[in-house]
Amino acid sequence: MFGRKAEQAVSMLEEGATAQDVAKLGATAAVIDASFEVEPGEIFVVMGLSGSGKSTLIRMLNGLWKPTAGDVYIGDTNIARAGDAELRQVRKEKISMVFQHFALLPHRTVVQNAAYALDIQGVDKAERFKRASEALELVGLAGWDDKYPAQLSGGMKQRVGLARALAAGSDIMLMDEAFSALDPLIKREMQDQLIQLQSSLNKTIIFITHDLNEAMRLGDRIAVMRAGRIVQIGTAEEVLNDPANDYVAQFVADVDRTRVLSAASVMEPAQYIVNANAGPREAQHTMREKQASAAFAVGRRDNLLHGVVYDKDVVKAVKRGDQTLQSIIDTDVASVHQDTVLADLFAPSAESPLPLAVVDDDKHLVGVVPRVTLLSAMANVAEVVHAGEHPGGEGRSDGPPDEPAEPAVAEPAEVSARSTDGGAA
Amino acid sequence: MIRAESESFDPLDPDLEVGQWIADAFDWFLDTFDPIIDVVETALQTGYDALFDLLSAPPFLVMIVIFAALGWIARSWQFAVFTVVAFYLIAAMGQWDRSMDTLSLILLAAAIATILAIPLGIWAAKSSTVSQMVRPVLDFMQTMPAMVYLIPTLFAFGIGQVPGIVSTVIFAMPPGVRFTELAIRQVDAEVVEAGQAFGAAPGRILRQIQLPLALPTIMAGINQVIMLSLSMVVLAALVGAGGLGGEVVGGLNGLSIPRGSEAGLAVVVLAIYLDRIVAALADRAPVVRASRVRD
């Protein structure tokens, strides 16, 4: 809550008033209802347009701004009620931040910038430069230690910002529109790097963005914000396939689904399956029943995909009196992992006469994607398909981040926020 | 004090003795703070004497070499050459001692004004209440005709350099405060947030982020302080501060063009020299240098 009469505004909001109602008091409700928990090791994306309150929200998570009402827990510490000294302690040890416009100190070198958090933590000079250099190496800036920020491109500056946050050694990273100021190609590169770093570092990341494609690429879960309220929290697929309301639906209308939806989300149960461990007679029987000219040969117990058998081979094998199918299984079968995104299914699907087999990590058959299924999945989003030319790329790059918004709440797991109403005053 | 006239106040023919009230208030101020005024007077006189001795004791050629060396270090050899020529001209015009006198006054007054202005500017930048209270006072200090300050300071400190220094400090301080406040407020909010977000205490943020980033603008303010000091120091001759101002006033009284113009030229030389040196220092601020580094 910003502005005058904040308390009165909060109680009005609790009784169901809208942000416009309280605006008449001269109060601005930036974050009104944002309750969520973030699990350790998760990338939690908060997505919303300018003025939706997301920048206010992230600033409440580390206490830069205080909510008027509501609580923010990091572990057991309530950030919203912590004193200045306690807050500084939490920021030093547990939570670091990456900024939209990098926020580097222009008069310090790259390595001094990367070591900034350690400097505040009181780490001695040799040690902090060593750790800062390691962090710089991690983000691909080895050898740039002694340059000044003015000598770096935007993408490199943000790598320094990232290195500074990593060097701090905190488990939680807040990223406020961290890649929004970068041009599309660099942005993509940074996203890839973040995903790759995350796979080894396993930080808890709260990422703010106005770019839906970015949210979809990065987020384990996505919270969609509008006018100070979180309107939906879910995985990328949940938000896409099951939007909570018209606003979210409209929002996701122009996302490139082929880059988000995975094979697992469109696959169907396999119809044509024969037991790879049984003989050709049983296979022939099954295929006749289903009127199939080819079938997947799958282990009956373990569901392991062995390959494909074709009708004429089965018939020959029966004539020859073979006892097993092994000799006629064609192992050169088009199979894809269940997490493969739709965009990557087109080529194998076009080449394969059979439906694509979808397998899990251990090569167990979990379903199939017939070409017609793939095409109809596409047809649902036909208006979007041409946008697939820059998949996940720039999205909407308009607009500065946010206007001040208002209260949020977060609460524990590692980080969690729960807000009923409220705001930062 | 507010005498009985208020009883006979005629709204159609208003007649308020504001000036008298101020004078009365000032009298009260002098009586009440007499010991403090004495301390200030002694301190300023001592400071001035020491500085003047320092600058005027060596032969003028030695001082010219020192000034030129400073110019070289701060700027360039071309500027050092200019310094030699210009200061030699001052000596040749017979204005050397008076110039050192004036320079002492300027340096002392500008230093005091800066020392007072920067903390006040920082405070005003941190607190909007302070800012709003300080602003009208600064407006007042800057718009009141400068010579007016000479009257009460003359009463307080008597004839000599001290009233000139005090008047100069009052007159020259406002841009120092304003530039400092502006400079701190202008520092990129995100960079300040970065300091906070990593757990830095406010004092550390001020020292490591706000002041270094604000330094070029603060230096511009100090430059203004020096230039205003220079103009005021000439007026201070009216209360017996002497120096080049004394020559200018003397030239005016005697309608002597040679006398007035020689002193005036010497003032111009001092102004150019101080301006360029301060500008060069601003240019050496770490944040400015870092922005200029190229591979």
Q: Are residues A192 and A60 in the same domain?
A: yes
Q: Are residues A188 and A231 in the same domain?
A: yes
Give chain B positions within 8 Å (CB) of A121: 199
CB contact under 8 A, B212 and A107: yes
Structural domain tally of chain B? 1
Q: What is the token pair recorded at B116?
A: 């007072």
| Within a domain: B162 | yes
A80-109 residues touching B, CB cutoff 8 A? 88-93, 95-97, 99-108
Give chain B positions within 8 Å (CB) of A62: 197
- Alpha helices in A278-406, H assignment, sequence order: 280-290, 311-320, 346-351, 371-379, 382-385
Chain B: residue whose CA lies nearest to A62? B197
CB contact under 8 A, B201 and A89: no
| Within a domain: A373 | yes
Does the pLDDT of residue B153 top 50, yes or no? yes
pLDDT at A404: 41
Q: What is the token pair recorded at A415?
A: 């980080």
Q: How far is CA A167 from CA A34, A86, B191, B232, in A?
A: 30, 21, 18, 53
| Within a domain: B222 | yes
Give chain A positions within 8 Å (CB) of B193: 59, 64, 97, 99, 103
Chain B: residue whose CA lies nearest to A88? B199
User: At B275, is the pLDDT very low, low, confident or very high (cuts 50, 70, 90)?
Assistant: very high
Say if A153 is an interface residue toward chain B (CB within 8 Å): no
Q: Are residues A19 and A87 in the same domain?
A: yes
Task: Mutation target for B interface from A148, A157, A177, A206: give the one with most B CBs within 10 A.
Answer: A148
Give chain B positions within 8 Å (CB) of A149: 290
Which amino acid makes up residue B65? V
Q: What is the DSSP string of A89-129?
A: HHHHHTEEEE-TT----TTS-HHHHHTHHHHHHT--HHHHH
Q: Above pLDDT 90, what percent of chain B?
A: 55
Residue B146: partners with Cβ closer than 8 Å, 6 or more residues away: B167, B171, B231, B232, B235
Could you report the per-residue pLDDT of B181-233, keeping only the tens digit for each?
999 999 999 999 999 999 899 999 999 999 999 999 999 999 999 999 988 88
| Within a domain: B120 | yes
User: Across the interface, which of A89, A93, A107 has its CB nearest the CB of B286?
Assistant: A107
| Within a domain: A102 | no
Give the C-alpha separation, A193 to A214, whole Å. Answer: 13
Give chain A positions within 8 Å (CB) of B295: 151
Give the C-alpha separation, A351 to A331, whole Å. Answer: 16
Q: Are residues A269 and A341 in the same domain?
A: yes
| Within a domain: B173 | yes
Structural domain tally of chain A? 2
Residue B183: partners with Cβ closer than 8 Å, 6 or more residues away: B121, B125, B214, B215, B216, B217, B218, B221
Q: Are residues A315 and A402 in the same domain?
A: no
Q: What is the token pair recorded at A307?
A: 């390959």
Q: Are residues A204 and A326 in the same domain?
A: no
Quote the minimal CA–CA distance from A27 to chain B in Å: 19
What's the domain range around B104? Answer: 16-57+93-292
Say if A115 is an interface residue toward chain B (CB within 8 Å): no
Sign, CA dihedral B90-B96-B102-B108, equals positive
Inter-chain Cβ pairs, chain A and chain B, closer than 8 A: 80
User: Across the interface, which of A88, A95, A99 has its CB nearest the CB of B194?
Assistant: A99
Say if A120 is an interface residue toward chain B (CB within 8 Å): yes
Does the pLDDT of residue B132 top 50, yes or no? yes
Chain B: residue whose CA lies nearest to A166? B198
Give chain A positions within 8 Å (CB) of B213: 105-107
User: Across the interface, which of B190, B193, B290 has its CB nearest the CB of A148?
Assistant: B290
| Within a domain: A237 | yes
What's the domain range around A299? Answer: 264-379
| Within a domain: A155 | no
Say if A349 is an interface residue toward chain B (CB within 8 Å): no
CB contact under 8 A, A150 and B209: no
Give chain B positions within 8 Å (CB) of A106: 213, 287, 290-291
Q: Are residues A368 and A236 in the same domain?
A: no
Q: Are residues A245 and A268 in the same domain?
A: no
User: Across the interface, which of B194, B201, B290 has its CB nearest the CB of A103?
Assistant: B194
Chain A: residue whose CA lies nearest to B208? A105
Helix (H) or strand (E) holding A365: strand A365-369
- Alpha helices in A15-168, H assignment, sequence order: 19-23, 54-61, 84-93, 110-114, 116-121, 125-138, 154-167
User: Across the interface, which of B191, B198, B208 has its CB nearest the CB of A168?
Assistant: B198
| Within a domain: B194 | yes
Could you report the per-residue pLDDT of A218-255, keeping only the tens digit for each?
889 999 888 888 888 988 888 888 888 888 888 777 77
Q: What is the token pair recorded at A281?
A: 């007679």
| Within a domain: A390 | no
pLDDT at B295: 57
Give chain B positions within 8 Å (CB) of A88: 199-201
pLDDT at A132: 92
| Within a domain: A200 | yes
| Within a domain: B259 | yes
Q: Are residues A35 and A90 in the same domain?
A: yes
CB contact under 8 A, B199 and A151: no
pTM, two decimal places: 0.74
Quote the minimal CA–CA distance from A74 to chain B in Å: 15
Give the C-alpha separation, A168 to B3, whole Å. Answer: 70
| Within a domain: A135 | no
Say if A160 is an interface residue toward chain B (CB within 8 Å): no
Give the C-alpha separation, B212 to B226, whole Å. Answer: 21
Give the C-alpha separation, B40 to B162, whole Å. Answer: 9
Q: Are residues A86 and A222 in the same domain?
A: yes
| Helix B96-126 × helix B257-283 angle, to 10° | 40
CB contact under 8 A, B198 and A103: no
pLDDT at A131: 92
Chain B: residue whose CA lies nearest to A94? B198
Q: What is the token pair recorded at A397?
A: 């790059």
Give the C-alpha separation, B47 to A55, whole Å. Answer: 53
CATH code of the domain containing A362: 3.10.580.10
CB contact under 8 A, A151 and B295: yes
CB contact under 8 A, A96 and B198: yes
Chain B: residue whose CA lies nearest to A90? B199
pLDDT at A389: 40
* A261-270, B82-91, B136-145: range with lowest mean pLDDT: A261-270
In the DSSP assignment, the letter for residue A386 is G
3-state secondary structure of A341: strand
CATH code of the domain containing A248: 3.40.50.300
Q: Above pLDDT 70, what percent of chain B?
A: 97
Q: How far is CA B220 from CA B108, B189, B215, B223, in A?
A: 18, 21, 9, 5
CATH code of the domain containing B47: 1.10.3720.10
Could you report the per-residue pLDDT of B39-54, keeping only the tens digit for each?
988 999 999 999 999 9
pLDDT of chain A, 425 residues: tens digit per residue: 565 566 677 777 777 777 677 666 767 777 877 788 888 889 999 988 877 888 888 888 888 888 888 888 888 888 888 888 888 888 888 899 999 999 999 999 999 999 999 999 989 999 999 999 999 998 888 888 899 999 988 889 999 999 999 999 888 999 998 898 888 788 888 898 899 888 888 899 999 998 888 888 888 999 988 888 888 898 888 888 888 888 888 877 777 777 777 787 788 888 888 888 888 888 888 888 888 888 888 887 778 888 888 888 888 888 888 888 888 888 888 788 888 888 888 888 888 778 888 888 888 888 888 888 888 777 765 444 344 344 433 434 444 444 443 444 444 334 555 544 444 33
User: Across the interface, which of A92, A148, A168 has its CB nearest the CB of B293?
Assistant: A148
| Within a domain: A175 | yes
Q: Are residues A184 and A284 in the same domain?
A: no
Q: Are residues A235 and A90 in the same domain?
A: yes
B110 in Cβ contact with B229 (< 8 Å): yes
| Within a domain: B42 | yes
pLDDT at A2: 60
Give the C-alpha separation, A64 to B189, whole Å. Answer: 12
pLDDT at A412: 38
Give the C-alpha separation, A249 to A384, whole Å. Answer: 13
Q: What is the token pair recorded at A30?
A: 């930036």
